[in-house]
């Protein structure tokens, strides 16, 4: 879509006290019937406008080319694996590399898809309440002096490199899981069957917990901004009707901010799905389907980190690349699903407003 508007420089130059005129897009101009004098015919555009148009178009085009070239490279490099296994790769549960003992090799993606979904699922399950709680606290409940401090602290968490989380995982979380958390889970929740197997400290659950901590700042910071954006009049209206703090948050803040919060969750999930370093350091890197939440596994990202350059032959290489393609696909599906959900959520709101 072309964006045709008055340049900021022009509007600022023409009138000293004028408020900046917002840019008007084609579609908006068309639907709202804005005076056509606002639109410039392309032939008479001033140079700065053309320059601006060229630059932003270039940015968009480069981005598209990048995405397509990544997909094409992944697809072409994984061709061998695709030709060998076809769709069987997607349901294959074994990952066996050739060695001097046996040249037999077979590659299936299920262990890594399961590992990826499990760790990200755990991360979201544990991280979301924490992130939302802290965001709501900072945005609506915190006294002013705490607001800035807490906000900065959360943003600081987001700035820590993932390898540092990995080290912290090895030195703090893994020992804690091994000595305290895992045995307790086994003892009290062992009957569920989800916490079987030997207690080692690392594994799917440990990685999920570290991922949860890693995605909290992302979700919290974005949700908080959205909650800040809720007009004060909304909350005041609810309060004036005698609503409690919780009720105000529930009926005034959250519905207004839910689209932004949803976007925050998708961002956080994206980070969890693609996280490599911290997961590689704590998940145990076993090429097998995890038998319980305490057992070792491998995510698609950690598989790529461990085995892309491991030189076990062209088929193994192309199978690893195909795993990358699947990760891209999963991310795409998550995005599409989120958009659909968002669309339904916002659609729902429109219905409410129409009453």
Partner 1 sequence: MSTPAPTSPPSDAIVRQKSRTGVYVAVAIVIVLVLVVAGFSAGWFKGSSPGGGSPGVCQPPSGTYIEGAGSSLVFPLMYQWETVYGGGTAVNYASVGSSSGITDISAKTVAYGASDAPLDAAQRQTATGLLTIPESAGGVVPIYNLPGVGALDFNGTVLANIYLGTITQWNDPALVALNPKASLPDQPIQVVWRSDGSGTSFIWTSYLSLESPTWAQNVGKGTEVNWPVGTGQAKNAGVSAYVGETPYTIGYVDLNYALTDAIQYGSVENPSGTFVLANVTNTATALTDAHLTLPTAGGDWYNVSALNSPGSGDYPITSLTYVLVYQNLSGAYGSSMGMTDAQGLVDFLYWAVTTGQSYSTQLFYVPLPAYIVTADEASIGSITYNGASVPNSCGASV
Query: What are the residues binding partner 1 (CB under 8 A)?
Result: 96-102, 170-171, 174-175, 178, 198, 200-202, 228-234, 237-238, 241, 243, 251-252, 255-256, 280-281, 284-287, 296, 305-307, 309-313, 349, 353
Tell me the C-alpha distance between 246 and 238, whole Å. 11
Nearer to partner 1 (CB atom), residue 44 or residue 145 = 145
Nearer to partner 1 (CB atom), residue 69 or residue 99 = 99
User: Is 95 in a helix, a strand, or coil?
Assistant: strand
Nearer to partner 1 (CB atom), residue 88 or residue 175 = 175
DSSP 17: S
Nearest distance in Å: CB 238, partner 1 = 7
DSSP 177: I
Neighbours of 161 (CB within 10 A): 10
Nearer to partner 1 (CB atom), residue 241 or residue 329 = 241
Nearer to partner 1 (CB atom), residue 117 or residue 243 = 243
Nearest distance in Å: CB 101, partner 1 = 3
* Beta-bridge mates of residue 24: 4
Angle between helix 110-136 and helix 254-274 axes, rounded to 10 deg: 140
Nearest distance in Å: CB 317, partner 1 = 9
Tell me the C-alpha distance between 201 and 206, whole Å. 7
Nearer to partner 1 (CB atom), residue 120 or residue 280 = 280
* Beta-bridge mates of residue 107: 95
Residue 192 tokens, joined: 């569920």
Nearest distance in Å: CB 7, partner 1 = 20
* Beta-bridge mates of residue 25: 3
User: Is 47 in a helix, a strand, or coil?
Assistant: helix
Q: Tokens 């705490």 label which residue?
A: 146
Nearest distance in Å: CB 334, partner 1 = 26
CA dihedral 280→285→287→292, nearest 10 degrees, is -100
Nearer to partner 1 (CB atom), residue 39 or residue 250 = 250
Nearer to partner 1 (CB atom), residue 128 or residue 261 = 261
Nearest distance in Å: CB 291, partner 1 = 13
Nearest distance in Å: CB 6, partner 1 = 21
Which alpha helices (DSSP H) does the chain contain, by range? 8-14, 26-32, 47-77, 79-85, 88-91, 110-136, 144-159, 162-168, 174-176, 182-189, 204-228, 232-240, 245-248, 254-274, 277-282, 300-307, 314-354
DSSP 295: S
Nearest distance in Å: CB 333, partner 1 = 28
Exposure on the CB side of residue 197, measured as CA atoms within 13 A = 17
Nearest distance in Å: CB 75, partner 1 = 20
Nearer to partner 1 (CB atom), residue 281 or residue 323 = 281
């Amino acid at each position: 879509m072309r964006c045709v508007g008055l340049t900021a420089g022009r509007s600022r130059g023409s009138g000293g006290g004028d408020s900046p005129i917002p840019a008007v897009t084609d579609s908006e101009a068309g639907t709202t019937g804005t005076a056509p004098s606002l639109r410039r015919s392309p032939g008479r555009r001033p140079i700065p406008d053309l320059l601006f148009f060229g630059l932003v178009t270039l940015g968009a085009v480069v981005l598209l080319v990048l995405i397509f070239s990544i997909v094409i490279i992944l697809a072409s490099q994984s061709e061998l694996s695709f030709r060998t296994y076809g769709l069987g790769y997607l349901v294959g549960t074994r990952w066996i590399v050739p060695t001097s003992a046996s040249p037999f090799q077979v590659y299936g993606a299920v262990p890594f898809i399961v590992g990826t979904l499990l760790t990200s699922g755990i991360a979201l399950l544990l991280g979301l309440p924490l992130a939302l709680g802290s965001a709501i606290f900072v945005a609506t409940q915190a006294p002013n002096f705490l607001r800035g401090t807490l906000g900065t602290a959360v943003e600081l968490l987001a700035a820590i490199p993932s390898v540092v989380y990995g080290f912290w995982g090895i030195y703090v979380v893994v020992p804690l899981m091994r000595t305290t958390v895992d045995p307790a889970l086994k003892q009290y929740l062992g009957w569920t069957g989800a916490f079987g197997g030997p207690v080692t400290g690392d594994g799917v659950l440990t990685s999920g917990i570290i991922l949860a901590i890693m995605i909290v700042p992302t979700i919290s910071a974005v949700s908080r901004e959205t909650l800040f954006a809720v007009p004060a009049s909304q909350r005041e209206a609810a309060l004036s009707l005698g609503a409690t703090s919780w009720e105000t948050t529930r009926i005034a803040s959250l519905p207004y901010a839910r689209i932004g919060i949803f976007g925050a969750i998708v961002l956080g999930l994206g980070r969890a799905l693609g996280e490599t370093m911290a997961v590689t350091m704590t998940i145990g890197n076993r090429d097998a389907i995890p038998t319980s939440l305490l057992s070792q596994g491998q995510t698609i990202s950690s598989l790529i980190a461990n085995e892309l350059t491991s030189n076990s032959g062209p088929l193994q290489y192309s199978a690893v690349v195909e795993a990358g393609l699947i990760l891209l696909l999963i991310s795409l599906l998550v995005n599409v699903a989120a958009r659909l959900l968002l669309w339904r959520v916002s659609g729902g709101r429109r219905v409410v407003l129409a009453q």
